[in-house]
Amino acid sequence: MLISQIGELEIRGEGDKLVSLTLVSKRNSNNPSLISGSENVFTGWLISYFNGKERKQMNEVNFLIPFKGKTREILLELLRVGYGEIVTYGELAKRINTSPRVVGNAMSRNPLPIFIPCHRVVRVNDIGNYSLGGKETKKWLLEFEERNLKLKP
DNA sequence: GAAAGTAAAAAAT
DNA sequence: ATTTTTTACTTTC
- Bridge partners, A4 (sequence order): A7
Examine the residue annotation and report whether A118 is marked as an active-site residue of this protein. yes
Distant-in-sequence, close-in-space partners of A97: CB < 8 Å, separation ≥ 6: none
Query: pLDDT digits over A67-93, tens only?
Result: 999 999 999 999 999 999 999 999 999
Task: Provide the CA A57 to C1' C12 distance, Å, integer.
Answer: 35
For residue A60, give every residue at least 6 positions away whose Cβ sits within 8 Å of its Cβ, in sequence order, or none: A76, A79
Give A98-150 pLDDT, tens digit per residue: 999 999 999 999 999 999 999 999 999 999 999 999 999 999 999 999 999 99
Query: Does the domain formed by A66-151 have CATH 1.10.3720.10?
Result: no
Domains of chain A by residue range: 2-50, 66-151
